[in-house]
Amino acid sequence: MRKKRGERGLWQRRYWEHLIRDDRDFAAHMDYIHINPVKHGLVTRVGDWPYSTFHRLVLDGVYSADWAGDGGNITLPYDD
């Protein structure tokens, strides 16, 4: 089906490019990436998702191990 539509690779049709503007923008995107498994109901805590850079960043002191708590009532400024 993708081949018929001329699509290939891993990007979705609605994908768009974004240039990271500054450290704050980078941090916002990292937060978004790390909270996604919770937001989509795959886990209840960010640290429960095993495929995340979150674990390394906890070891590096960037995030606390309990960042975002249990995932309840999370509101990020860039949520849809």
51 is catalytic: yes
Catalytic residue (one of 15, 32, 51, 63): 51
Q: Distance between CA 6 and CA 29 in Å, rounded? A: 29
Q: Distance between CA 4 and CA 48 in Å, rounded? A: 38
First to last CA, the chain: 29
Q: Active-site residue numbers?
A: 51
